[in-house]
Structure 1
Amino acid sequence: MAELALAKTEVERHSVFKKVKPHAELIASVLCGILILTGWLLEFTNHDTTAIIVYVLSFIIGGYAKAKEGIEETIANKELNVEMLMIFAAIGSAIIGYWTEGAILIFIFAVSGALETYTMNKSFKEISSLMNLQPEEALRIHGGIEKRVHVSELIVGDHILIKPGERVPSDGKILKGITNIDEAAITGESIPVTKNIDDSVYAGTVNMTGSITVEITKPNSETLFQKIIQLVQNAQSEKSPSQLFIEKFEGTYVKVVLAIVALMMVLPHYVLGWDWTETFYRAMILLVVASPCALVASIMPATLSAISNGAKHGILFKGGVHLENLSHLKAIAFDKTGTLTKGKPVVTDIHIQDGEDHNDLLWKIASIENHSNHPLALSIVSHVKKHLNKELLHPETIEDMPGMGVKAIIGEEYWKIGKADFISGLKSNHKLIEKANLLASEGKTIVYVQINNRAVALIALKDVVREEASKAIKELNKLGVYSVMLTGDSEKTAKVIASESLVNEYVAECLPEEKVNQLIKLKERFKTVAMVGDGINDAPALATANVGIAMGEGTDVALETADVVLMKNDLPRIAEAIRLSKKMNTIIKQNIVFSLVVITLLISSNFLQILDLPYGVIGHEGSTILVILNSLRLLR
């Protein structure tokens, strides 16, 4: 019993520590502030020795995190940094008796560090919440017994049962069954593919019709979910070109400052006639005010805040470099299927032979197709239900013919609905064939209807442009970004889609290699170019572009290759991402200019002997806090 209580106490302690840990720096800075106030009151009441002890405690508690970080980075990189300057300045202030000022320096530096940590934690939390996806479960078959298990428990060689309507949990090959698989997430094509025994199926695709038994061929670690988690981790660590430049600049700048401070400890005494106390005092002020704290904090908090803001709105950036590049974007290329278009077919034309009852025929077609999970069938049923307020009937018999269509009997009528090869009575109906050829030339998919060996109707379906596509293009035009559609479709289909989506230019009959060539040409014309796609065939183009943007429902290959992911497949978010990038760069410029102006003014004031250490501490560290707060505006 005692052991159980002890274990429970340990768990509770661990839980509390886990909750407190992200706020440790903030708690330390608050304690530091309380100790400074206590020390000042003790000093005010002439308890000088006790006051010094309290100040030393404030130094240790408030400065521990930053001192540890500075020393570790100095050892690891063999390069002095801004944290070391602050340590030297605080110690120098204490040496000349300015305990309060040194403690205030530590306190404000600790607060600015806590704000930076808050920004990083906030960014990680926002992005992680997007990634808080529930991995799929799978119905594993072992020894003839079915058991639903977490997808993470699947191993290579396991057999799983995938029922109609379920998503394939991991890559594998079919052992039993025939079905239609919607591979829009893989290929970008909306028409399902018929799969037989030994055919491969891929994670993220949807089983549409028959039940299939699949053997797993890839481990869970290679699933789409795991790749997205990896993207989040990379986004936290990757730095923008501006940040890398500042970090390189920081090392050189710190050495220069220390060299000047060393000279200032000696030269003013001999050259300007200052006494030694004043000389050392001014050198310590210089050490404080010349430190590039605000300059160093100008970029990273802004970048992390922008990444966090994007994550909240369904835009996942892999790192600051890609976010920074977006602001320079001059042109953007779009894949068609699944990107500009919905990737799902809708009914566009219905042609019925003269003499047939239009409404009765559609009612019976929908009644038959209602027993199929095929996307074309679902689209037809949905279309008919919108136009006919009538309950569907149940055919006497119905038989699904995978890859061909469906057979049914209604009363004394023998029906067939499906492909041209499936319809035996089509050859003699020249009028219907002519109409079908015309619609097919417009890039539409044709479904034929036969009753008792007579072809009586056809239904044309097409992948239509997303409602938000034209809005997205208009927004990009306002931002001065030129839009191009790259598609493998025919010239006629490409022209129609380009007109409907309002893109500035289109290139038809583009194979994956040709998309890469087109991207290279666009880069020559516009310098900075983005590519938006969702399929494996888009991956080479995504890699070629300056910024690759993947649709969230795309394949793991596209997500891995892309630099930015639209988690909600919301095209207008691209313009939002560009605006966010421009705003981030504006804030970074504001921060850098403000930092340099403050440092210049403080250094000048110190040389003119009009700046005291307390004001130098407040001016310098206050500017750092203002810079971070300015960056945090991007979280809104």
Structure 2
Amino acid sequence: MKKDTQAPILQQQRHAQDSDAHNHNSHHKKHTDSHSHSHSHTHDHGKAPLILYFIGLVAAVLGLLLSNQSQLIQNSLFALASITAGYHVIVLEGLGETIERTKKANWFTPNSHILMGLAAIGASLLGNYWEGCLLILIFSGAHFLEEYAEGKSQREITQLMKLNPTTARLLQEDGSTKEVVVSTLKIGDRLSVLNGDQVPIDGRILSGTTAIDESAINGESMPAEKTVGDLVYASTINGTGSFTMEVTKTNENTVFAKILELVSHNQTNQTKVASIIQRFEPKYVNAVLIVVILLMLAGPTLLAWTWSESIYKGLVLLVAASPCALAAATVSVTLSATSHLAKKGVLSKGSAYLSQFATIQAIAFDKTGTLTQGKPQMTHHYFSPQVSDTQFLTDLIVSLEKQSSHPLAQAVINGFPNASTIDLINVNNQTGQGLMTTYQGKNYRIGKPSSFEAVATDITQQHDQWAAAGQTVVYVACNEEVLAVLSFLDVAKDYAKTTIEYFNREGIHTSMITGDAAKTAEAIGQSLGIQEIIGNVMPEDKARLISEQKERYGTNAMVGDGINDAPALVNAAVGIAMGEGTDVAVEVSDIVLMKNDLNKLVQTHQTAKKMNRIIRQNLVFSMAVVLFLVFVTLTNRADITLSVIIHEGSTLVVILNGLRLLLH
């Protein structure tokens, strides 16, 4: 369901949505509080941390601008920069998380924040205030940038809530209607749904015929024709007809409500992918602290050092072992990757998702609007040999369709670009019968095959051939004698086939999961070379199938564009949305292809793989530098100056290595 379709309905219902959205969000908040509580004290400080960091950055720049003659002022500015820039990361988060971890583990469990703070203090005690300041600025800056890139705040479902119907026209016993809140409806209530309305709740049609846009539920691009006895679903859009319906499900049990529930549930159960540094952080920090303390104690007792000399060497080791380059090892790479992709129209909501995307073993695609254009095109036409003037019949068909609002109408017009317009009057569009008109004393009709009785063999053969290939077929008749057959298909997008071929070559399992009919899905999927094709799938089934693929193959991705894709997008390890799709799909996804260009998906995977490769290079190099500095420190071949030079040099190297992605 696209924005322009939703807007009028949303505007009509805006007054009634606020209370329902508030109630649902309150429930959602209660559901997620327990999940987020443990981090609330460390990550919810508003803009204050960034303001303090920039104050520290300004103080550091001012200190650098001062000459060495102002040593006291310069060092004071560096000290001020260290305190302000590191207050949030080192004191609030580092100390706070260390205390929390220690209480939980009943064992001293520091993190790298503490180590960086001690390293900065050590450098300052040795008189190198700039080195201590630089360590804090790099580490804190990297932390803020990574926090921003990762998008730690939970993804909202506000846009999804706006599409949830809130009012309905309840039929009274005297035949009048009364506007009521949807949540008050009961099974068995009768409702009136007018043309252009949103269907307020799941139910069954009692009287009337219409065509309903059900793309919000099943992703089907063509409206479904509905008549007495057919099921209708909440949040779908009614077409030109009006009908009365009987409520068959309560508000909380509708198909759309299940979409909301699945998105909310899957959001609150996501786990952040730990980086290599995070996984080994506690062990590394403890090892460094133990080695430094042992060195300080062993110096006077075993190595005949003075206490002053021993403390000095211990602090040098602390600076040498601090993961300065490690702090920049991933940030420069991830920012380069995201910037590079952004220029190509690909937005990532976190480097962790890009990193995961590089390692996927399976990728699933929605069909309509993702692999296909989302709009049907006329693919074939056949005129019976009995038609003496095919040009006249073509002109008549186009003239009829020009007065229709059916989605196939434009496809017919585009399919016959050389047709002329005939002035027709009394064009009727009846649901279940199609387009009808009378011209020069003859009755002409365009409709679905099931609405015609006696059909010639050649017409039937064409119908069967095209229908078997998953195409939608309509007949054109004169006085109920079928003279022409037209077929339509939602054709594949540019690069769809090459995209599937790429992932197949990479050894990644490809699948298409769609709400479209199985035959249509098979036709498109087989032409693109997709390995697994699953049709007739409802939204909750999509999410289940994605979970099954995750268990079967490992890390997986889902590409979609509709509201019905939202649960699956959230449930996949990496959710990827087409940028011209619904707001909801974009909102809950991890990566967005802004221009709906599937070729960008291939480029994103290639960039993500290169990003991971460079991150591994940086991590190995950074650890090698740390080990080297530790070695030369323990063998009395290094002092604080050498540590500073090598630290700054190694940091510059990993940053420049990461920036290579901008040239990719």
**Which range, TM-score by smaller chain?**
0.7 to 0.9
Q: Does structure 1 residue 72 correspond to structure 2 residue 96?
A: yes
Q: Does structure 1 residue 109 correspond to structure 2 residue 140?
A: no
Of residues 464, 469, 477, the one that matches 1:437 is: 464
Distance 1:558 1:90, change over 3 A: closer
Aligned to 1:42: 70
Distance 1:107 1:528, change over 3 A: closer
Q: Distance in 1 between matches of 2:646 and 2:407?
A: 66
| 1:541-556 map, 5 Å | none
Q: Distance in 1 between matches of 2:161 and 2:516?
A: 36
3-state SS of the aligned residue for 2:436? strand
| 1:206-605 map, 5 Å | 207-210=238-241, 239-241=272-274, 243=275, 245-299=276-330, 302-303=333-334, 306=337, 322-330=353-361, 332-334=363-365, 336=367, 338-353=369-384, 354-384=386-416, 386-388=417-419, 390-395=420-425, 397-423=426-452, 426-427=454-455, 429-477=456-504, 479-481=506-508, 483=510, 497-498=524-525, 500-501=527-528, 503=529, 505=531, 530=557, 532=559, 566=593, 568-605=595-632
Distance 1:269 1:308, change over 3 A: same
**For residue 85 of structure 1, what is the amino acid of its counterpart?**
L
Shift of 1:305: 6.0
Distance 1:514 1:559, change over 3 A: closer
Aligned to 2:114: 84
| 1:15-34 map, 5 Å | 22=50, 24-34=52-62
Aligned to 2:223: 192
Distance 1:472 1:227, change over 3 A: farther
Q: Distance in 2 between matches of 1:55 and 1:495?
A: 66
Q: Distance in 1 between matches of 2:657 and 2:192?
A: 53
Out of 268-277 and 368-377, give the one that drifted further: 268-277
3-state SS of the aligned residue for 1:323? helix
Q: Distance in 1 between matches of 2:600 and 2:184?
A: 41
Q: Deviations over 1:193-217 (max 9, x none)?
A: 12469954454x5555447899995
Q: Does structure 1 residue 180 correspond to structure 2 residue 211?
A: yes
Out of 374-383 and 314-323, give the one that drifted further: 314-323
**For residue 446 of structure 2, what is the amino acid of its counterpart?**
I
Q: Distance in 1 between matches of 2:382 and 2:430?
A: 23
Distance 1:24 1:411, change over 3 A: farther
Shift of 1:559: 8.1
Shift of 1:113: 2.0
**For residue 60 of structure 1, what is the amino acid of its counterpart?**
I
Q: Deviations over 1:568-619 (max 9, x none)?
A: 5433233223213212211210121111111112112222333222332343
CA contact (8 A) 2:150 2:351 kept: no
Distance 1:306 1:73, change over 3 A: farther
CA contact (8 A) 1:314 1:566 kept: yes
- CA RMSD in angstroms comes to 5.3
Q: Distance in 2 between matches of 1:272 and 1:321?
A: 46
Q: Distance in 2 between matches of 1:84 and 1:522?
A: 37
Shift of 1:56: 4.7
3-state SS of the aligned residue for 2:496? helix
Distance 1:36 1:85, change over 3 A: farther
**For residue 64 of structure 1, what is the amino acid of its counterpart?**
Y
Distance 1:217 1:26, change over 3 A: same
CA contact (8 A) 1:414 1:452 kept: yes
**For residue 584 of structure 1, what is the amino acid of its counterpart?**
M
CA contact (8 A) 2:514 2:521 kept: yes
Shift of 1:360: 1.1
Aligned to 2:634: 607
Q: Distance in 1 between matches of 2:561 and 2:65?
A: 59
Q: Distance in 2 between matches of 1:557 and 1:260?
A: 52
Q: Does structure 1 residue 616 correspond to structure 2 residue 643?
A: yes
**For residue 95 of structure 2, what is the amino acid of its counterpart?**
I
Shift of 1:66: 3.6
3-state SS of the aligned residue for 1:387? coil
Shift of 1:361: 0.9
**For residue 494 of structure 2, what is the amino acid of its counterpart?**
E
Shift of 1:509: 7.3
**For residue 583 of structure 1, what is the amino acid of its counterpart?**
K
3-state SS of the aligned residue for 2:470? coil
Shift of 1:24: 4.4
3-state SS of the aligned residue for 2:375? strand
Distance 1:232 1:283, change over 3 A: farther
Shift of 1:285: 0.7
Distance 1:589 1:419, change over 3 A: same
Q: Deviations over 1:156-210 (max 9, x none)?
A: 579999865x9x598777999753223245323333212469954454x555544
3-state SS of the aligned residue for 2:292? helix
Q: Distance in 1 between matches of 2:163 and 2:585?
A: 21
CA contact (8 A) 2:95 2:114 kept: yes
**For residue 190 of structure 1, what is the amino acid of its counterpart?**
S
Distance 1:94 1:361, change over 3 A: closer
- Gapped runs of 5+ residues in structure 2? 1-44, 103-108, 171-180, 186-190
Shift of 1:440: 2.5
CA contact (8 A) 1:316 1:565 kept: yes
Q: Deviations over 1:11-46 (max 9, x none)?
A: xxxxxx999974642341231342466484234xxx
Q: Deviations over 1:297-330 (max 9, x none)?
A: 5346645665676566565667655533432345
CA contact (8 A) 2:360 2:508 kept: yes
Q: Distance in 1 between matches of 2:461 and 2:75?
A: 98
CA contact (8 A) 1:93 1:284 kept: yes
Shift of 1:250: 1.4
Q: Scaled by the length of structure 1, what TM-score is found?
A: 0.73
CA contact (8 A) 1:70 1:84 kept: yes
**For residue 255 of structure 1, what is the amino acid of its counterpart?**
N
Distance 1:422 1:635, change over 3 A: same
CA contact (8 A) 1:547 1:562 kept: yes
Shift of 1:287: 1.1
Shift of 1:379: 1.3
3-state SS of the aligned residue for 1:107? helix
Q: Distance in 2 between matches of 1:383 and 1:571?
A: 25
Q: Percent identity?
A: 34
CA contact (8 A) 2:149 2:350 kept: no
**For residue 75 of structure 1, what is the amino acid of its counterpart?**
I
- Gapped runs of 5+ residues in structure 1? 1-16, 144-153
Q: Distance in 1 between matches of 2:381 and 2:596?
A: 30
Q: Distance in 1 between matches of 2:343 and 2:239?
A: 33
Shift of 1:364: 1.1
